[in-house]
Copies of this chain bind each other. A is one copy, B any other.
Amino acid sequence: MNKIITIGREFGSGGRELGRRLAEKLQIAYYDQEIITEITKRTALSEEYIRNVEENQPLPLLPITVGRTFSLQFDSLVEQHQTVFLQQSNIIKEMAVKSDCVIVGRCADYVLREFSPLRLFVYADITARIKRCRDKESAKRDWNDRELKRSILTVDKRRAKYYQFYTDQNWGEKKYYDLCINTGGLEIKTVVPAVAALIN
């Protein structure tokens, strides 16, 4: 069976960077944009729409009490979200069958549970995450710490809901992972060879 690494991560903790570097170090595939491109091919949905649905609200935000027309629209939106998840899961499985790989987010640890992946969760304290965001995202340089913190925690909340909805497990609860890595104290470049050492 192929060697699969899945990475769940708190926003701003550097999970994506860890994934990319790990794939590089191990010389295995790193799937991210490829998954989105493949979903657009298999559905009539745009890349932008898919990005918005992925790891976002598991259900569209619409009022519960709506008229029949809205209700139908709501049902169709729910269906669309679930189609994206289903397509995404199929693609992830196909990729896992094809070769060793690293997959970040997308409930991949759960979707690929039959492949016995190495399941990582990457996290850090909020101060470290604010610093990382400030260093990386030029667009948010004019945000103050409070705004950045709120934005980070909102993304986390959405990821947690998305994960809980599709897996019935708690996002970030250590029992669902093999290794939880705190990048608040550990440097990613130091973590890469350590995690690589776990892959035989």
Contacts and interface: CB of A to CB of B under 8 A. Distances in A.
A179 B178 contact: no
A146 to B, nearest CB: 20
B180 A174 contact: yes
A24 interface: no
Secondary structure at the A interface, as helix, strand, loop or mixed, is mixed
Nearest to A198: B194
A1 interface: no
A191 interface: yes
A182 B180 CA distance: 9
A191 B195 CA distance: 9
B175 A123 contact: yes
Contacts of A185: 116, 119, 178
A197 B194 contact: yes
A116 B184 CA distance: 12
Contact of A186 (B125, B172, B191, B198): B198
Contacts of A195: 194
A60 interface: no
Given A123-B174, A174-B180, A179-B180, A197 B186 contact: no
Given A123-B175, A174-B174, A193 B197 contact: yes
Contacts of A172: 174
A65 interface: no
